[in-house]
Chains A and B, each alone.
Chain A
């Protein structure tokens, strides 16, 4: 109505109105033609060959998903039906049942924002993978879309390739996991006389960084190694393999020098560190480790701990479960360390439980971690079982804990645990080759009678309810005294130091010397959550 205000129209003669409307129609048609000429008319015959060569199609769907308002020529080959026979509200029998929910959900969300979804369209007995990307088309001033514009393309070939690739990767990971299980996490090669030994691993992502090994020493001596490389997957497993190799070579080199004598534990760890720590630092990785030696003749467990989870020691005589801790950082944390070796006496029936962090880090449905305290109580409560049965029990209880409800986390379950128990003679009154003094930490205990002075470890204990604890020995003489423990401050640590560095080795009370065994007045009847920290710091 060029130049004619709308309110004047009723005042004009009928003929004049008719002429004006014709002029309007002509102007509108011209505008539409001009607009069409600026678009690519894929549905016109002369463009059909080009349109058919495209791998996809454009379509415009009504917001209620009922109708396809427009579809380019490629639509029908993709969907197997003409656009006017396709409704995105009724997809059963058209789209694969497994993909139905995802597509409906995406289309529903498509009214409000862009989306992308992959689904299978059924075509006889076969199906094709399609990918749809959609965008809401809103009218001016409207929030909700009136239409949804989609681009659909055939992804069958690429999807098939992707699935094959995933299958190949899965196969590689499965093979890798088998190799890791066989070579890095092997179970004991044979029964070791004097020890009841079992091992178990539950990898989180089929391959991860746990490694474990056993070295047979001379009679009644067995070295156990359990490590955990930073991260997961093939890189962690390869690092674990390299770590095992470094320890093997270190043992070999030291054995050649030492002759028939067994090389000290800390020398082995240091020898391995010399071979691998620099490379680990270059690779920006590290591993935690506990390397220990069970010495049946002396009734001792000597170990070096490098930032690994505590070794749990269930002491049969007292019915207590101790955490055996260390004082070293993980291998690869720093260029070189002064390794500290600890020793604890063992008696027949005692139990050592080595594990990696997967078991204690797992959460229940409420986000509460399994935790070391719970594991200690579990080990203590079932300490009467043989090693294999104990592992089975721990596995089932930990699984039940993590899967007891709808899990809100996907944290993987990862564990390598290794209970070992000296099974020396237990006849009443006989003096066992294990801890012949029969006392824990007395001045005549092997730990102090050995050729080198090896400190007792920093330990914490948790009361175990499995059995009534026996009274502590009363006729074993004077408990040894140690110098008042000193607090080791980290290098570079300001004064006053970090608030908790003084508790690395334990709590210091009154600066008085402490006995090397649990106090007779220790809180045996304490609540289940009570634990004590022993103050031994080398």
Chain B
């Protein structure tokens, strides 16, 4: 699980192919404490090929927690299959989603 600070943003990178019922707990346990004090968070989904409803729930909770305490969060680099899911559940109504990491980092600097 990648956690690094790039510029103004904390970049979180899940390092498993499937964000699902098996990995969502690790996702939350790794990222929730890391993002707790971060003002701007970017979730880099480039390595995730599949997200199920449990994984989406974990992701949603990270988004809500970050926004709930006044932080900012965006998602970048979703793979096509994951993008389809995000589009289906209208995730873009809650959080900004970028195709590339550079765009997300530029957003973080604004």
What residues make up the interface of A, taking CB atoms closer than 8 Å to B?
209, 228-232, 281, 284-286, 288, 307-310, 325, 327-330, 333-334, 357, 361, 369, 411, 490-494, 497-501, 503-504
Contact = CB atoms under 8 A, between A and B. Distances in A.
A498 B96 contact: yes
A500 B83 contact: yes
Contacts of B57: 230-231, 284-286
Contact of A230 (B53, B83, B87, B103): B53
Contacts of B21: 231-232
B93 A491 contact: yes
B98 interface: yes
Contact of A494 (B61, B89, B107): B107
B97 A498 contact: yes
Contacts of B20: 411
A504 B107 contact: no
Interface of B: 20-21, 50, 52-54, 56-57, 60-61, 64, 81, 83, 87-99, 103, 107, 110
A494 B110 contact: yes
A504 B88 CA distance: 8
Nearest to A288: B89
Q: Which of A229, A309, A504 has the most CB of B within 10 A?
A: A504
Contacts of B50: 361
B31 to A, nearest CB: 15
Contacts of A501: 92, 97
Q: Is chain A's binding surface mostly helix, strand, loop or mixed?
A: loop
Nearest to B28: A284
Contacts of B87: 500, 503-504
17 contacts: A231-B21, A232-B54, A288-B89, A328-B90, A329-B90, A333-B94, A334-B94, A369-B81, A492-B94, A492-B95, A497-B92, A498-B92, A498-B98, A499-B99, A499-B103, A504-B90, A504-B92
Contact of B60 (A286, A288, A325): A286
Given A308-B88, A498-B92, 10 more contacts: A230-B54, A231-B53, A281-B64, A286-B60, A325-B88, A328-B90, A329-B93, A490-B96, A501-B92, A504-B92
Closest 4 CB pairs of A and B: A307-B89, A498-B97, A329-B90, A499-B99
Contacts, number: 86
Nearest to A284: B61
Contacts of B96: 490, 492-494, 497-498
Q: Is chain B's binding surface mostly helix, strand, loop or mixed?
A: helix
A286 to B, nearest CB: 7
B89 to A, nearest CB: 4
A360 B92 CA distance: 23
Contact of B99 (A228, A309, A500): A500
A349 to B, nearest CB: 28
Contact of B88 (A285, A309, A361, A498): A309
A330 B92 contact: no
Contacts of A503: 87
B41 to A, nearest CB: 14
Nearest to B56: A230
Contacts of A310: 88
Contacts of A333: 60, 89-90, 93-94
A463 B8 CA distance: 48
A125 B20 CA distance: 45
Contacts of B107: 494
A240 to B, nearest CB: 12
A360 to B, nearest CB: 10
Contacts of A229: 53
A533 to B, nearest CB: 11
B53 A228 contact: yes
A494 B89 CA distance: 19
Given A498-B97, A503-B87, A504-B87, A493 B53 contact: no
Contacts of A231: 21, 53-54, 57
A79 B104 CA distance: 64
Contacts of B54: 230-232
B89 A500 contact: no
Q: Which of A231, A281, A285, A310 has the most CB of B within 10 A?
A: A231
B45 to A, nearest CB: 12
Nearest to A208: B53
Nearest to A356: B53
Contacts of B53: 209, 228-231, 288, 357
Nearest to B53: A230
A281 B89 CA distance: 16
B73 to A, nearest CB: 10
A228 B88 CA distance: 14
A330 B89 contact: yes
B65 to A, nearest CB: 9
Contacts of B64: 281, 284
Contacts of B97: 498-501
A209 B57 CA distance: 13
A329 B91 contact: yes
Contacts of A330: 89
B19 to A, nearest CB: 13
Contacts of B88: 307-310, 325
Nearest to A361: B52
A493 B107 CA distance: 10
A357 B96 CA distance: 25
Nearest to B110: A494
B98 A327 contact: no
B87 to A, nearest CB: 6
